[in-house]
Structure 1
Amino acid sequence: MTDNSLLAGPALRRLRKREGLTQAAMAASLGISPSYLNLIERNQRPLSARVLVQVIERFDFDPRSLREDEAIGGIDGLARRMSDPRFADLAIDREELQEFLATSPQAAAAFARLYDNAASTDPRGEDPVDLARQEVERWQNHFADCDAAAEQLSDRLRLSRGDIASALIDHLREQHRLSVRILPADVMPGLVHRLDLHARQLQLSEMLPGAARRFQIARQVGALEQREAIETLVAGARLSSPEAREKFREHVTDYIAAALLMPYGRFLRACEQTGYDLAVLQRRFAVSFDQLAQRLTTLQRVGERGLPFFSARFGRTGRMVRFTAGASGAVYPLTGARWPAWAPYAAFERRGTMLVQAVTFGEGEAAPRHWLTIARTVEFDGAACSARQAIVLGIEARFAGDMAEARGISLDPLDAVPLGVGCLRCGRPDCLNPAPARYARGE
């Protein structure tokens, strides 16, 4: 999933004006014709590798500025902002947004900045969890430097061999003088983990199952090994409240833990070799379904991209408690959203069963997008009780053809279950009593 062409007209035009050159003068310096340069500046021709090298060498040009749209999340980040109900009557589709971003990237960035700043002062946007989620979406849930550092440490510790937990525990003891101790639940009321620096212990609740214990140990290793990188990301985040910054810090730390347990290169190869077979991946990397689902939303390494998944978690009442868009471009309303015909809701009645369902949704877009979604329940063992929640993975159907979970599934949009906007916004009486969801397969 790589870009075949690079349209960089606005960036090249700004560079030319900064240098005070005419098109003819700049074209002569680059060894191309003025008409060809004119086409490049108007985004009617891509910037070739040869011309890009000439631009870098002759004008001390930073090629990272060609990806300036990534600062606002690209076309998907712009689409998320435009899905605001205040713009619903404008019916702006993705094609218009793509043209806006390609021809006027700085104007698009200005709009995104104004929108984000307005959201940060809007009482409706002060939820720390939601603010942290927006920051994660700005990065498309891919933190390249942290991912690479975690992969290097995983290779150094040879976490692919033998008992992963033992290797991490040994590393904590040898490098950080910390031991790991499992304690009874009544000794750690309300907690699943605790770092006791006085006793030099990482203390874990006995209520945590194996995968959760390994994750917490990896999390502590990541927090210690990448403390500076984590704080750099938090300091650079556009978050005004300490609570939102702490939520973002927790997300990045969890991200590093997942990257340690599922190092990027090896994990992506396993995904491609198995057709993203979720059961096989879970066993191969000794992780929970929830940990696997979150990791699948992160596969955006340049030149080594995986499929663009989104992931969500639902409570038993049907309320969404987490949503990670990744690079999928999915937009889901977190307030008032109830889609009873969707698989995550039925998953609670079929405990531990994998439900695969094709659906269409896409609030704020000219036409709903077609998705393949996979849902199942998981048990979250905590200090006080066990809570059952539903995890859903989603991917656009056009990318899902070779997936193991898509075998035997109709990917014809006409067979998909249509999901509407959130009930508070929709008002359709039949939304509350939908026809039974159409499942292609339940495992």
Structure 2
Amino acid sequence: MESAALFAGPALRRLRKREGLTQAAMAARLSISPSYLNLIERNQRPLSGRVVIKIVDEFDFDPRALREDEAIGGLDGLARRMADERFADLGIDRDELAEFLGAAPQAAAAFARLYDSATPQDRKDDPIVAARREIERWRNHFAALDTAAEALADDLRLSRGDTYAALAERLRDRHQLAIRILPREVMPDSLRRLDLHARQLQINEMLDPASRTFQLAYQIATLEYREDVTTLAAGASFTDDTARTLYERHIYGYVAAALIMPYGRFLRACEATGYDFAVLMRRFGVGFEQLAHRLTTLQRVGQRGLPFFMARIDRAGQFSKRFAGASGASMLEAEDSCPLWNVHLAFERPGTLCVQPVMLDGAGAAPAHWLTMARTVDGRGAAGAARFAIVLGVEVRLAIDLAMARQVSLRPEDAQPIGAGCARCHIAQCAQRSLPPNGAQLRFSPLTRGSIPFEFGG
């Protein structure tokens, strides 16, 4: 997939007015026609690389200002805010939001600033929320680290042999660390422990091979990329040390995944297999959760993969992980998940991939028609009784060639309607409903008892 075109008409128009230029004079400075400049300013044509270079040269202009929408997380950031239940009845779709952001980015930024300032204080202070928002700002793609990890994977020749052995050799040769697998009773509460006195990286014996490999890669990330990760975290301006630590832990895990699944080779394998999860897991020696994380990160400019979202959900429908990547998935903003979603069916079929096309009700600013795929994963280590469901999703319009799409109908009328949790869902005829939508007016009849739990209006 190619990188997105740059539409920056309002920013260019403000620059022209700041300089006191007519469209004809501005066009002459940029060596383009006035009619072409008019189309650019109206967002009917994107800015070409040549025009961007001319803008920088002629006006000593910072090109980052042309992407003013990035300050609010772009279209996905605006979509996330508009997915708030308070706007659910407005029916604002993604196309309308794109028009708003393109035509009036400063007004969109003002809305985002007002929305954020009105966010409840406990949400703003939540370190998990703060770390996730920073990850979303980068769309869960850290280009420089991805490239560095890919280069290291090439140096270690990870594509030509046993990844675990190559990583163990790197730890031994460069960091003088031996790998020691210890019994569960010795490490009852730890998956990995770095013993600098003994010069050992100690691994819990209960970890499966894929998890052992990941722990080695994670340790390499903490030893060799600490300065890069610290710099990234410093740039986030966290006010809470817990949020900073959570963010850093995520990035170290990101580097580890990029080392085991190097970008170029991984993306080629995805495209060659139709993103066949079983093949990818076997080829790269990873577990389903590791694979799911990696699939949300494929946003390299000029070499983009499909924009998957990923979430981890427990039996009660609570999210413990959620990464939208570049998908714009608004259902991840809910506090609870819809019981009609296949992520819950996965608990009844452990280890089986449950594929389900869904139509998200009240999607508002996000695409509504998704192909979702869920599978259970079990906890690791001594307390290995925990079980979660991992769900991946991608827009149906992008899923036509996926291996998983061959077993289901992708017609909109065959999709399962779901909501972003009952409190945000406005599907009227749902026997599974536990709560009415927030703000909805309940209806009661003295003569009739309906078959659904709640009847409501606007």
**In 2, distance between residues paired with 1:207 and 1:106?**
53
**In 2, distance between residues paired with 1:100 and 1:61?**
24
**In 1, distance between residues paired with 2:337 and 2:86?**
21
- 1:282-332 per-residue CA deviation (whole Å, 9 max, x = no partner) reads 000000011001100000000000001011111233322111111111012
- Aligned partner of 2:159: which letter? S
- Aligned partner of 2:85: which letter? P
Is contact 2:367–2:395 with CA below 8 Å preserved after alignment?
no
Q: Matched residue pairs, number?
A: 432
1:436 counterpart residue number:
none
Judging changes above 3 Å, is the alpha-carbon distance between structure 1 residues 368 and 40 closer, same or farther for their aligned structure 2 residues? closer
Matches within 5 A, 1:129-168: 129-168=128-167
SS at match of 1:58: helix
Judging changes above 3 Å, is the alpha-carbon distance between structure 1 residues 191 and 181 closer, same or farther for their aligned structure 2 residues? same
**In 1, distance between residues paired with 2:365 and 2:221?**
42
2:455 counterpart residue number:
none
In the alignment, is residue 243 of structure 1 matched against residue 246 of structure 2? Answer: no
Runs of 4+ in 1 over 6 A off after TM superposition: none
- Aligned partner of 2:42: which letter? R
Judging changes above 3 Å, is the alpha-carbon distance between structure 1 residues 89 and 172 closer, same or farther for their aligned structure 2 residues? same
Give the structure-1-normalised TM-score.
0.91
**In 2, distance between residues paired with 1:348 and 1:54?**
57
Matches within 5 A, 1:20-419: 20-119=20-119, 122-333=121-332, 336-361=335-360, 363-365=362-364, 369-419=368-418
Is contact 1:375–1:393 with CA below 8 Å preserved after alignment?
yes
In the alignment, is residue 431 of structure 1 matched against residue 426 of structure 2? Answer: no
**In 2, distance between residues paired with 1:342 and 1:249?**
32
- Aligned partner of 2:103: which letter? T
SS at match of 1:348: helix
- Alpha-carbon RMSD: 2.2
- Aligned partner of 2:405: which letter? A
SS at match of 1:228: helix
**In 2, distance between residues paired with 1:51 and 1:325?**
32
SS at match of 2:379: strand
**In 2, distance between residues paired with 1:334 and 1:58?**
43
Judging changes above 3 Å, is the alpha-carbon distance between structure 1 residues 339 and 162 closer, same or farther for their aligned structure 2 residues? same
- Aligned partner of 2:298: which letter? L
Unaligned runs of 5+ in 2: 435-458
Judging changes above 3 Å, is the alpha-carbon distance between structure 1 residues 140 and 362 closer, same or farther for their aligned structure 2 residues? farther
**In 1, distance between residues paired with 2:336 and 2:238?**
25
**In 1, distance between residues paired with 2:20 and 2:90?**
39
Is contact 1:320–1:334 with CA below 8 Å preserved after alignment?
no
Judging changes above 3 Å, is the alpha-carbon distance between structure 1 residues 239 and 111 closer, same or farther for their aligned structure 2 residues? farther
- 1:1-59 per-residue CA deviation (whole Å, 9 max, x = no partner) reads 22574322122223323434332322222223334323321223332344334323333
Deviates more, 1:76-85 or 1:234-243: 234-243
Deviation at 1:425?
A: 4.3
SS at match of 1:430: coil
**In 2, distance between residues paired with 1:28 and 1:367?**
40
**In 2, distance between residues paired with 1:410 and 1:192?**
41
Is contact 1:85–1:364 with CA below 8 Å preserved after alignment?
no
1:8 counterpart residue number:
8
Is contact 1:347–1:377 with CA below 8 Å preserved after alignment?
yes
**In 2, distance between residues paired with 1:223 and 1:100?**
42
Is contact 1:92–1:365 with CA below 8 Å preserved after alignment?
yes
**In 2, distance between residues paired with 1:4 and 1:293?**
24
- 1:160-218 per-residue CA deviation (whole Å, 9 max, x = no partner) reads 12111111111112212222221112222311111222222221111111101100110
**In 1, distance between residues paired with 2:188 and 2:335?**
33
Is contact 1:360–1:368 with CA below 8 Å preserved after alignment?
no
1:440 counterpart residue number:
none
Give the structure-2-normalised TM-score.
0.88
Deviation at 1:148?
A: 0.7
**In 1, distance between residues paired with 2:51 and 2:222?**
43
SS at match of 1:194: strand
Judging changes above 3 Å, is the alpha-carbon distance between structure 1 residues 432 and 12 closer, same or farther for their aligned structure 2 residues? closer
**In 2, distance between residues paired with 1:401 and 1:227?**
40
SS at match of 1:312: strand
**In 2, distance between residues paired with 1:366 and 1:53?**
33
Is contact 1:300–1:306 with CA below 8 Å preserved after alignment?
yes
Identity rate, percent:
62
**In 1, distance between residues paired with 2:362 and 2:319?**
16
SS at match of 1:381: coil
SS at match of 1:51: helix
